[in-house]
Chains A and B, each alone.
Chain A
Amino acid sequence: MDIPYTVEARPDTGLYNAKVGIWLFLASEVMLFGALFSAYILLRVGAPAGYWPEGWLNVPLGTLNTMVLITSSITTVMAWASLKMHQFGRFKLFHAITLLMALTFLSIKSYEYHDKFTHFEILLKDGRFADGHIIERAPDHIVIHGRIVNDEKALYNLHEKHIQLKEVTIQRSQIKSMERYGPWHNTYCALYFTLTGLHALHVIGGAIVIGFLWGPGSKLWETDPERFTNRVEVSGLFWHFVDLVWIFLFPVLYLL
């Protein structure tokens, strides 16, 4: 006896096995990210007033990345629809764009990560705070592109328009401690890196699967086109979910 409904749909459920499987898997993924978003809400509600960072992320870049992912979702549907219409060449074209978009998304994300990891908050011995990107390191001093503030609270809200960034030279002897904007920096950074990092892992996983189906896996089209189309559909459902998670992450981390 062979396992039934691996390709054709079961009459009473209207689904083939893998489609049931991927929907169930996505349900568990909803719970995974749901728990993380709950953690975000609880930690943000518990944060002291005025100390939740605002405007720390680059909204135009985030918007661009959102557009990139939405485009990739469209091409994913088009790739699947092309297979349904037996147009293998168009499938190759559309999924090539999907993969390109995935790569673009990850590149932009890496740029944003890099920006955060080279961003320093420096506590000076006189109690003031210097904040910015280091552009020069000398044995006795460093030069940052940023600013110096008296109250740490001023670093949290970057929505104000009159913030002027300029080159500031700081003597090493003045520095009490300095810290990168890594996940250890504060709760917001921790959430930002954990949530987007886990999302990026999903993007990488999805891109590997789609890349396989685009490259070596596409040989199946010649021997079993229906099964291949199903695989493209299932991987596409996962890709849409990854896209959807970003649709929530973007406003929560960039805009709110």
Chain B
Amino acid sequence: MQATATEAFPHSGAHAAHHQEAGFLRTYVFSTDHKMIGLQYGFTALCFLLFGFFLMLMMRWQIAHPGKPVPIMGPMLASLLGNVAANGIISPDLYNSFGAMHGTIMVFLAIVPLAFAAFGNYLVPLQIGAPDMAFPRVNMASYQFYVLGGTVMFFSFFIPGGAAQAGWTSYPPLAEVVQTNGQTFWLIGMIFLISSSLLGAVNFIATVIQLRAPGMTWMRLPFFVWAQFVTAFLLLLAFPPLEAAGILQLMDKVAGTSFFLPTGLAVGGKLAHISGGGSPLLWQHLFWFLAHPEVYVLILPAMGIVAEIIANNTRKPIWGYKSLVYSVLTIGFLSFIVWAHHMYLTGMGTKIATFFQTTTMLISIPSVIILTCMFISLWGGSIRFNTPMLFVMAFLPMFGIGGLTGLPLGLSYSDIYLHDTYYVIAHFHYIVAPGTIFAIFAGIYYWFPKITGRFMNEFWGKIHFWGSLIFMNLIFQPMFAQGMAGMLRRMADGGANYSGAKTPDTVGGLSPFIMGLHTWILWAAVGLALVQIPFVINLFWSIKHGPETHSDNPWDSTTLEWQTPTPPPHGNFATAPLVYRGPYEYSVPGHERDFTPQNEPDPACEPSPA
């Protein structure tokens, strides 16, 4: 507890002391406090983020140097995983496992838990002026399910045959005919993770509906809360179909059913001993019914973080608050009717393809509105270029690149050529890596002072930012070229078999330049790993040794999370906050200070209970 906080909130000291009686287990492991659960989510998810990143590093080595032992990590791989990594060489089976698990871990165990569960848990109750989430014990259960799911996923690497090998999309029949238990582990892990998301989503929505402080009307909610609210709805309604699909595929694996296995399926040259009659396309529909809204689950919380940081650092209200709110609601709705644009190559027919092309083009409109509002918000602002703001400023064009390169994939004509190439990888990584992950970094630097009472180091923060920005672009920009040259994703040799060098008399072989980009990307990825080192050290060092904030509201912010003691005690607010105004009252003419907190009394306006 900071000295300043105790002065500003005389009751908070006694309040905190009352709760310090709880033991270590209740405080750190089985906590029901939304802030501790948020931090648990954040820490676990950051570990998985790093783990997923290392999987990718080893894959990049294998792609650039197929069949050569992995330096440094190779002996460890060989001793941990045995035959699949004999002599430290990544076998094609292991490469497939790494590919499937990189995607699964990054999406379901790293980014969503960070952007939605960690930031949402910590901030949503604070920003709406609530003492906690609506169902604290459900919240704890949500985290525990997440850890269980993560554990199952992680340990599947060490079972005989290794982890799932059929990509994060797990398309049957391939996913089901691989003769190992990796896929079964994957499915059980996913069922835990989905249950965790469902509990979290119910909790978030109920919290926003029920626990808004008096005066916190819907149109006074910070945009971050709106983004989380819509995200929670996407998780609530889109995840259950994947849970259903997961149950069906699990039945196929363990009970011998044929939900996704067609009649006449041959495996290894022999007719499979199955009843048949299933439909592989059914899986794709159920999977993408989740997985497209999932894309918005990845990006909407990031947009929420970006809006908060832009408003604070331009010292201006966010431009077009209402447009932002309606756009995010529109995205939420439309995201449920675009899923089959991942399936143009399945032969579902041009009429259906036309419908999904139309909805896909429609959903880009609210996305562009949001991005445009963010850009216009910068106009005429007196911008503070601190580390969180730098990450946010980079988010805008990076997300722009990711979004615009998605348009050719949403149109079936161009998608038929680009489908399943490195172009797709570059496209969605631009959205998730320098998009969402940058927003997550920005959020960590921005809210760190609220959690610890100390700033993170600015100098190393800037090193982290510039390094990440440069290396991420060096990694993903060449992939657009590779994809347009026709290089397919998911190949354990990085496309060497299709290179012009290997098949000189074939038209359209991959040129030496395109193949050479692999080396380029590998070293950029190593560079990206190196510039994360200052971030990790900065994060832990600053908890104890960062410069002190000397204020509960060091960024001079208007939203309610900064109007609490630092760090917020159990129950958050010393006295129940009353809300008198909108979330972004920066630089209001005629006011003494350039920010007016939401709970600053306004003599002209009494808070209404809604």
B439 in contact (CB, < 8 A): no
Mark B567-603 against chain A: 1 for CB-CB distance below 8 A, else 0. Answer: 0000111001000000000000000000000000000
Question: Are A24 and B136 in contact (CB-based, < 8 A)?
Answer: no
Decide: A35 near B241, CB < 8 A? Known: A21-B206, A43-B277. yes
Q: What residues of A have a CB within 8 angstroms of the CB of B256 in the complex?
A: 182-184
Q: List 5 A-B contacts (CB under 8 A).
A: A3-B132, A31-B236, A51-B277, A183-B251, A185-B275
Chain A residue at minimum C-beta to C-beta distance from B199 = A25
The 8 closest A-B CB pairs, nearest first, are: A184-B256, A190-B257, A35-B241, A1-B131, A35-B244, A32-B240, A31-B240, A187-B277
Give B192-208 interface residues, CB cut-off 8 Å to A: 198, 201-203, 205-206
Interface-centre pick from B210, B211, B573 (highest chain A CB count, 10 A): B210
Closest approach, in angstroms, between the C-beta of B256 and any C-beta of chain A? 3
User: B275-298: contact bitstring with A at CB < 8 Å (1 yes, 0 no)?
Assistant: 111110010011001000000000
Interface residue? B176 (CB, 8 A): no
The interface residues of chain A lying within 8 Å CB-to-CB of B279 are 42-43, 46
Q: B residues 126-149 with Cβ under 8 Å of A?
A: 130-132, 134-136, 138
User: Are B282 and A39 touching (Cβ within 8 A)?
Assistant: yes
- Which residues in chain B, 227-272, are within 8 Å of chain A measured between CB atoms? 236-241, 243-245, 247-248, 251, 255-259
**Are A24 and B257 neighbours in the complex by a CB distance under 8 Å?**
no
B residues apposed to A, CB below 8 Å: 130-132, 134-136, 138, 198, 201-203, 205-206, 209-211, 236-241, 243-245, 247-248, 251, 255-259, 274-279, 282, 285-286, 289, 571-573, 576, 609-610
Residues of chain A at the chain B interface (Cβ within 8 Å) = 1-5, 10-13, 15-18, 20-21, 24-25, 27-29, 31-36, 38-39, 42-43, 46-47, 51, 182-187, 189-190, 193-194, 198
Contact present for B210 and A5 (CB under 8 Å): yes
In the complex, the answer to whether A24 meets B201 with C-beta atoms within 8 Å is yes
Nearest CB on A from B582, distance (A)? 19
B residues in contact with A20, CB < 8 Å: 134, 205-206, 209-210
Q: When the two chains form their complex, are residues B278 and A187 in contact, meaning their CB atoms are under 8 A apart?
A: yes
**Pair A21/B257 contact, Cβ less than 8 Å:** no
B198 adjacent to A183 (CB under 8 Å): no
Q: Is the pair A198, B255 in contact by a Cβ cutoff of 8 Å?
A: no
Q: Which residues of A contact B247 (CB under 8 A)?
A: 36, 194, 198
From B131, B205, B248, A24 is in contact (CB under 8 Å) with B205
Is B202's CB under 8 angstroms from A21's CB?
Answer: yes
A31 pairs with B257, CB closer than 8 A: no
Query: B residues within 8 A CB of A36?
Result: 244, 247-248
> Min CB distance, B243 to chain A, in Å?
6
- Residue pair B282, A194 in contact (C-beta under 8 Å): no
- Contact yes or no, B571 A1, CB < 8 A: yes
Q: CA separation between A190 and B135, bound complex, in Å?
A: 37
B134 and A3 contact, CB distance less than 8 A: yes
In the assembled complex, the Cα of A193 lies from the Cα of B205 at a distance in Å of: 33
Knowing A182-B256, A190-B258, say if A24 contacts B244 (CB, 8 Å).
no
Collect the chain A residues with CB atoms within 8 Å of residue B289's CB.
35
Which one of B203, B573, B610 contacts A1 once the chains associate, using CB atoms below 8 Å?
A: B573
Complex contacts, A1 vs chain B, CB 8 Å: 131, 571-573, 576
Tell me which residues across on chain B come within 8 A of A29, comparing CB atoms. 240
CB distance from B393 to the nearest CB of A (A): 36
CB contact under 8 A between A35 and B286, given known A20-B206, A25-B202, A190-B251: yes
Q: CA of A140 to CA of B588 in the docked complex: distance in angstroms?
A: 95
Q: Which of A10, A29, A183, A198 has the most CB of B within 10 A?
A: A183
The smallest C-beta distance from B323 to any residue of chain A, in angstroms, reads 25
Residues of chain A with a CB closer than 8 A to B276's CB:
187
Q: Which of A11, A185, A194 contacts B251 (CB 8 A)?
A: A194
Complex-state Cα separation, A113 to B209, whole angstroms? 43
A24 to B203: give the CA distance in the assembly, Å.
9
**Alpha-carbon gap, A18 to B134, bound state (A):** 8
What is the CA–CA distance of A75 and B150 in the complex, to the nearest angstrom?
42
Complex: how many Å from CA A198 to CA B247?
9
Q: How far is the CB of B535 from chain A (nearest CB, A)?
A: 35
Q: How far is the CA of A16 from the CA of B211 in the complex (A)?
A: 10
- A28 pairs with B202, CB closer than 8 A: yes
Across-interface contacts of B210 in A (CB, < 8 A): 4-5, 10, 13, 15-17, 20
CB of B244 within 8 A of CB of A32, answer yes
B278 in complex: contacting residue of A18, A43, A194, CB < 8 Å: A43
Nearest-Cβ distance from residue B570 to partner chain A, whole angstroms: 9
Give B188 Cβ to nearest chain A Cβ, in Å.
Answer: 15
Q: How far is the CA of A42 from the CA of B248 in the complex (A)?
A: 14
A130 to chain B, nearest CB (A): 18
Instruction: State whether A21 touches B135 (Cβ < 8 A).
Output: yes
CB <8 Å contact, B241 and A13: no
CB <8 Å contact, B134 and A21: yes
Most chain A Cβ neighbours within 10 Å, of B245, B255, B274: B255
A-chain residues with CB within 8 Å of residue B237 when the two chains form the complex: 27-28, 31
B258-A187 in contact (CB<8A):
yes
Q: How many Å from the CB of B128 to the closest CB on chain A?
A: 12
Given A20-B209, A21-B206, A27-B236, A3 contacting B275 (CB threshold 8 A): no
Q: Do B257 and A183 have beta carbons less than 8 Å apart?
A: yes
Question: Which residues of chain A come closer than 8 Å to B286, judged between CB atoms?
Answer: 35, 38-39
Determine how close the nearest CB of chain A comes to the CB of B238; give it in whole angstroms.
8
Most B CB atoms within 10 A — which of A2, A36, A47?
A36
In the complex, chain A residues whose CB is within 8 Å of the CB of B131: 1-4
Given contacts A21-B206, A28-B198, contact A12 B609 (CB under 8 A): yes
Selected contact of B248 from candidates A10, A39, A189, CB within 8 Å: A39
Known: A24-B202, A43-B259, A194-B251. 20 other contacts (CB 8 A): A3-B136, A13-B210, A20-B209, A20-B210, A24-B206, A27-B237, A28-B201, A31-B237, A34-B240, A35-B241, A38-B285, A39-B286, A43-B282, A182-B255, A183-B257, A184-B257, A184-B258, A185-B275, A187-B278, A194-B259
> What is the minimal beta-carbon distance from A162 to any residue of chain B, in angstroms?
28
Closest to A21 in B: B206
- In whole angstroms, what is the CA distance A187 to B259 when docked? 7
Within 8 Å CB of B573, what residues of A?
Answer: 1
Q: Is A187 within 8 A of B275, CB to CB?
A: yes
Contacting residues, chain B, for A186 (C-beta < 8 A): 258, 275, 277
Closest to A43 in B: B279
Contacts of A42 in B (CB 8 A): 279, 282, 285
Complex Cα distance A102/B550, Å? 61
Task: Return the chain B residue nearest A5 by Cβ.
Answer: B210
Distance (whole angstroms) from the CB of B352 to the closest CB of chain A = 14
What chain B residues lie within 8 Å of A17 (beta carbons)? 134-135, 206, 210-211
Q: Contact between A194 and B248 (Cβ–Cβ < 8 Å)? A: yes
Minimal Cβ-Cβ distance residue in A for B281: A42
A-chain residues with CB within 8 Å of residue B248 when the two chains form the complex: 36, 39, 194
Q: Say how far B544's CB is from chain A's closest CB, in angstroms.
A: 29
Which of A2, A5, A31, A198 has the most chain B CB atoms closer than 10 A to its own CB? A31
